[in-house]
């Protein structure tokens, strides 16, 4: 696997992106991220719908009188937020040209570069076979080298086991933070439960970058073929017709749209990235969707 993820042209592009992100932090966030924790004596930020478990003292009763619905006040609060890059390294990520694993590693390295350039605390976690390993969040050039070396040494293998891996990740990250998940969501029967483990945590925010190859979305194979399941090593001899390709595409789209719909319901930023797209384009669109770029 190539060990050079960031070529000079990409680094120059990342420096431009990092500069814009930095300006937003300084200009709008006073040098830090806004948390969603309500508090007293802090600047008012916004309202959000009341949910069971919220402190009744946060309820805006004047708004309730006007609208007949319960809303709580959210205040600005500066804090140091950990950024966790969470990378699927199961065997299915070996598919694609470039492979989904290499593409995701490029994106993860780019996000780490932007975050660390902006003086954020960034960590890297990778998972497969239901286990999660990684580097806790920190700052500095030496830390980026550790993240880069970890990405360069990875070889995707095994099953996904997202449910068990993210449960382990939750135990290892008691501070919470922003979790950016990069995965193809292949062999993830419990993906919804897995994502809820992060979205339901206090002081935690999830962002999803769904990585796919065009061949997954619109396969070109036809006729008699032998397919190898990278995660189970199972071999299947099939005769693929146009009708079966369309059925497969319908099922893939249904799976993708279910993940996207879940994220929309939970206000989780979701981005579908095809490996054929440039990393720079994917980063800019992903960050713009999150509201970090103007």
The secondary structure of residue 157, as a DSSP letter, is: -
Residues 64 and 193 in one domain: no
Residues 67 and 202 in one domain: no
Core vs surface per residue 5-38: b (16+ CB within 10 A) or e:
bbeeebeebbeebbebbbeebeeeeeebbbbbeb
Residues 157 and 64 in one domain: no
Is 2 contained in some domain?
A: no
Is 132 contained in some domain?
A: yes
Residues 63 and 187 in one domain: no
Contact assessment for residue 103 and residue 97, using Cβ atoms and an 8 Å cutoff: no
Residues 136 and 62 in one domain: no
Q: Give the integer Cα–Cα distance in Å for 116 and 121.
A: 7
Residues 43 and 109 in one domain: no
H/E stretch holding 152 reads helix 141-153
Q: Give the integer Cα–Cα distance in Å for 118 and 26.
A: 10
- 107 vs 39, residue with greater confidence: 107
Is 33 contained in some domain?
A: no
Is 32 contained in some domain?
A: no
Residues 67 and 126 in one domain: no
Residue range of the domain that includes 55: 38-75
Residues 263 and 168 in one domain: yes
pTM comes to: 0.78
Per-residue pLDDT tens digits for 88-146? 999 999 998 899 999 999 999 999 999 998 888 999 999 999 999 999 999 888 999 99
Q: Give the integer Cα–Cα distance in Å for 241 and 270.
A: 32
191 confidence band (pLDDT: 50, 70, 90): very high
pLDDT at 35 exceeding the cut of 60: no
Residues 66 and 164 in one domain: no
Residues 152 and 45 in one domain: no
Least confident of 70-74, 168-172, 210-214: 70-74
């Amino acid at each position: 696997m190539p060990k050079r993820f960031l070529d000079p042209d990409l680094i120059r592009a990342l420096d431009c992106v990092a500069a814009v992100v930095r300006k937003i932090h300084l200009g709008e966030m006073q040098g830090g991220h806004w948390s969603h924790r309500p508090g007293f004596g802090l600047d008012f930020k916004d309202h959000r719908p009341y949910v069971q478990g919220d402190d009744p003292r946060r309820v805006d009763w004047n708004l309730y009188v006007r609208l007949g619905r319960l809303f709580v006040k959210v205040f600005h609060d500066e804090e140091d937020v950990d950024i966790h890059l969470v990378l699927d390294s199961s065997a299915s990520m070996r598919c694609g040209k470039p492979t989904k694993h290499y593409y995701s590693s490029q994106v993860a390295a780019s996000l780490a570069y932007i975050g660390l350039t902006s003086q954020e605390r960034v960590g890297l976690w990778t998972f497969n076979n239901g286990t999660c390993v990684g580097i806790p969040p920190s700052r500095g050039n030496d830390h980026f080298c550790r993240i880069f070396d970890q990405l360069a040494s990875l070889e995707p293998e095994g099953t996904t086991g997202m449910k068990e891996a993210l449960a382990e990740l939750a135990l290892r990250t008691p501070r919470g933070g922003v979790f950016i998940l990069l995965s193809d969501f292949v062999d993830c029967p419990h993906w919804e439960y897995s994502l809820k483990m992060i979205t339901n945590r206090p002081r935690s925010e999830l962002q999803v970058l769904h990585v796919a190859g065009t061949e997954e979305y619109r396969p070109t194979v036809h006729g008699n073929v032998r397919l190898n399941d990278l995660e189970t090593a199972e071999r299947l001899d099939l005769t693929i017709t146009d009708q079966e390709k369309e059925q497969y595409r319908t099922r893939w789209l249904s799976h993708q749209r279910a993940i996207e719909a879940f994220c929309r319901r939970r206000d989780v930023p979701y981005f579908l990235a095809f490996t054929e797209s440039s990393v720079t384009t994917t980063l800019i669109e992903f960050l713009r969707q999150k509201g970090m770029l103007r």
